[in-house]
Structure 1
């Protein structure tokens, strides 16, 4: 690598939230932007409700492993707030956290949500999104994940047009309406983060 910087992204959530789909979109967008990029295997329980996380690494030169050490991730995208807390130790001090406020709280012993939110807001570089409110606003039940990706896109060196291209191709088989809704959600999330704040 000759000392070239390897950038790391951690994606976390629970089974059924689309962590794998999001990781694949990120990977493809980075590759089309000219980076060498690798994705780890999805770790965790993929059935609905089980903890799931993936890692994506990218660099200007070839890389041999997609695994990220604690304190080395540049970006954490979390579809569930308690899962976000689980992986916060992986973030570098200058990293960014993009996280859904809305919990999958059907597990025993889930801590008070206000405590989880307070802990997340205390993380430097954290950006919380009320995904349920956004989904209602856009009349798109699954808008949350794509909106989070839109927010996260501000911290990745990928052109907006290229994101749109990858997302459109990802959802093309589901029809124009579904594709348009996902692009709308991505754009809504992207607009929540100001320009010029990237990694």
Structure 2
């Protein structure tokens, strides 16, 4: 990690997909790693189906703002492909994009999926994943967000043990099975990007 600058993460999706939960897990994991981290307010329509995005900034020194300028984000985590396109301009040239291929096509005027996928695959550093297929294989309907977080973890200066600790604490009130399924989804996503890389 470059200690001399502020690092930024953008999360995007639609209401009901868990964008806020992922942002809070990220924030806690970064803080437990000894970093200063701030999260912006959620922007957009948080009700089911509305566009939602959040920003998380982190650095080795104190931060004054959680807002990321366009073209300055190191990482974009998108739970929906059209929402990925909506915020891809936030990424820096060397940034990474992890995105679910599963569309929320019930919105009016949704563009052709092939066009969206082609545009996303043209982004340097893009990693697309069929979260719907993975969720079926993991027998966990809501696995998508944790799979993407596992992929994103490869780009972040957080130890595996801290991720597991934060995820466990996030879900333990829902029982051991839900906790284990979320940890399994995280590890599945982590395994999709073989070589750890830093930003």
TM-score normalized by the length of structure 1: 0.98
Give structure 1 stretches of 5+ with no counterpart: none
The 3-state SS of whatever aligns with 2:13 is strand
Which residue does 1:26 correspond to in 2? 26
1:89 matched residue in structure 2: 89
CA distance in 2, matches of 1:103, 1:160: 29
Aligned residues: 197
TM-score after normalising by structure 2 = 0.98
Q: State the secondary structure of the residue aligned to 1:99.
A: strand
**Residue segments in structure 2 that go unaligned for 5+ positions in a row:** none
The match for 1:187 is 187
Moved over 4 A (4+): none
**Alignment partners' CA distance in 2, 1:114 and 1:21:** 29
* SS class of match (1:8): strand
Aligned counterpart, 1:196: 196
Residue in structure 2 matched with residue 157 of structure 1 by the alignment: 157
C-alpha separation between the residues in 1 aligned to 2:151 and 2:127? 8
Q: 1:108: how far off? A: 1.1
1:56 corresponds to: 56
Tell me how far 1:194 sits from its aligned partner.
1.2
- Cα distance in 2 for partners of 1:8, 1:181 equals 28
Q: Which residue does the alignment assign to 2:42? A: 42
Corresponding residue for 2:146?
146
